[in-house]
A = this chain, B = another copy of it.
Amino acid sequence: SIDGQRLWSSLMAMAEIGPTANGGSCRLALTEEDAAGRRLLIEWCEAIGCTLRVDRVGNLFIRRPGKRDDLDPVATGSHLDTQPKGGRFDGILGVLAGLEVFRTLHDQGIVTERPLELVVWTNEEGSRFAPAMVASGAFAGEFCEAYTLSRADRDGVTLGQALEASGFAGEMPLGEPRLASFFELHIEQGPVLEEEGEAIGVVTGVQGMRWFDVILRGQPAHAGPTPMAYRRDALAACARLIDRLQGHALADSSGGTKVTVGCLEIDSPSRNVIPGEVRLTVDLRHVVESELDALEARYARELDAVAETFGVEVRSERIWASPVVAFDAGCIDAVERAARAQGVPWRRMMSGAGHDAVYVSRVAPTSMIFIPCRDGISHNEAEYATPEHCALGAQVLLDAMLERANT
């Protein structure tokens, strides 16, 4: 079985790459830090006889041969990129647990029927290049190669350019290799498992999410002599929009509605200038697709209302929509059996975060395994999962993969 100590050591070693001031990690997608993390992983995998292939959007496919290499592999994986002030577990755990699965099988000289594949998906976070999960989306046919490579960061650097610079622009066509099934281990990134005292989440699907790029354009003017009633203050309009959307989401007693404005930037900000232009991002989520439609409609109405009230022009572009996903019943059952076998409390649950498994589930039977994280906190340097939970999650992953790889 899994060596929890070794898994923990590899997590901590990865966290040394791009460390942040408060114990987190910064490895934005396809930066030098991200590339260094990838190289470290490849080194570890090659040391146990695995081989690497890289596809055209930089996804890494690391193979452990099986007895029947003509069969499609059973795969696992996640991502190594992080948020600007990210944690040490989000994505990384799923990759390094896959490594730990390989190492465990290697130590015990076990060769599975099917080959196994550890996948590192490029740019999962969506923080440097929007949308999130763009490269697993490209693998699964949601996004074409040209679209994916043309995603640009704030500085105008494209994903394609960053890929070349990182040395991870590969040759393998998108969609290869076909996967027999896919399991992704991840921290929950929310508070449910911890609060309920459960050790494993058997993930049945993922909530839907929609991303918007928004511009509010009013009129810059002097903060002193400009009467309040004359103003077309883009920031005041934006504040009203955020406050109304927050209120709407909080009023949903089911807790299903989620609204987040993560980025907001004033054009040419100055203390004594009424903001003339504000750019912001909006992230809307719901576990029910029709409710997400209703949320988007509500958002559009609130936007129109502030345009009217504040005399500002608004432009909102929906740049991403990831529908509500239901995972494969067979894979969910495999995870549930593996969890039961551990004799720990577990639950079936939906994921609030997007994961590469969302897109992979379109082309291969897929499910996910969650473990608790402290205070439910993620996308934060303080993100933490215990060594015990990490090992437990890796064990469930190993068991689910073995079941699938030997049948």
Using a CB–CB cutoff of 8 Å, the interface residues on chain A facing chain B are 83-85, 125-127, 130, 132, 188-192, 207, 209, 211, 219-230, 233, 235-236, 238-243, 246, 249-250, 252, 255, 257-276, 281, 283, 285, 351-354, 376-380
Of B85, B223, B239, B262, the residue contacting A238 (CB under 8 A) is B239
Of B130, B243, B265, the residue contacting A236 (CB under 8 A) is B243
Cβ A239 vs Cβ B250 within 8 A? no
Contacts of A258 in B (CB 8 A): 223-224, 226-228
Contacts of A249 in B (CB 8 A): 228
Known contacts A243-B243, A380-B221; A270 and B125 CB within 8 A of each other = yes
With A211-B271, A220-B380, A228-B250 already in contact, 10 other A-B pairs whose C-beta atoms are closer than 8 Å: A83-B270, A84-B268, A85-B267, A127-B270, A127-B272, A191-B226, A221-B376, A222-B377, A224-B353, A226-B377
Cβ B379 vs Cβ A272 within 8 A? yes
Q: Give the number of times this chain occurs in the complex, counting copies.
A: 2
Contacts of A283 in B (CB 8 A): 223-224, 271-272
Cβ B262 vs Cβ A264 within 8 A? no
Q: 8 tightest A-B contacts by CB?
A: A225-B352, A190-B225, A239-B242, A223-B260, A224-B353, A224-B352, A239-B239, A84-B268
Known contacts A233-B246, A246-B236, A376-B230; A272 and B126 CB within 8 A of each other = yes
Of B126, B190, B276, B354, the residue contacting A227 (CB under 8 A) is B190
Residue of B nearest to A253 (CB): B229
Contacts of A207 in B (CB 8 A): 224
Cβ B126 vs Cβ A85 within 8 A? no
Minimum distance in angstroms from A324 CB to a CB of chain B: 12
Minimum distance in angstroms from A264 CB to a CB of chain B: 6
Roughly how many angstroms separate A177 CA and B310 CA in the complex, as a whole number?
48
Contacts of A222 in B (CB 8 A): 189-190, 352-353, 377-380
Minimum distance in angstroms from A289 CB to a CB of chain B: 16
Minimum distance in angstroms from A128 CB to a CB of chain B: 9
Roughly how many angstroms separate A207 CA and B285 CA in the complex, as a whole number?
46
Contacts of A221 in B (CB 8 A): 376-380
Known contacts A235-B261, A239-B242; A225 and B380 CB within 8 A of each other = no
Contacts of A219 in B (CB 8 A): 377, 380
Cβ B224 vs Cβ A209 within 8 A? yes
Minimum distance in angstroms from A136 CB to a CB of chain B: 16
Residue of B nearest to A131 (CB): B271
Residue of B nearest to A227 (CB): B255
Of B85, B257, B264, the residue contacting A228 (CB under 8 A) is B257
Residue of B nearest to A354 (CB): B224
Cβ B272 vs Cβ A264 within 8 A? no
Can you report 14 residue pairs joining A to B where beta carbons are below 8 Å apart?
A83-B270, A127-B271, A190-B226, A192-B225, A221-B376, A221-B377, A222-B377, A229-B255, A230-B376, A239-B246, A240-B243, A260-B273, A262-B275, A272-B353
Contacts of A274 in B (CB 8 A): 260, 262, 379
Cβ B262 vs Cβ A273 within 8 A? yes
Residue of B nearest to A267 (CB): B85
Roughly how many angstroms separate A84 CA and B273 CA in the complex, as a whole number?
10
Known contacts A236-B246, A285-B224; A262 and B270 CB within 8 A of each other = yes
Residue of B nearest to A380 (CB): B220
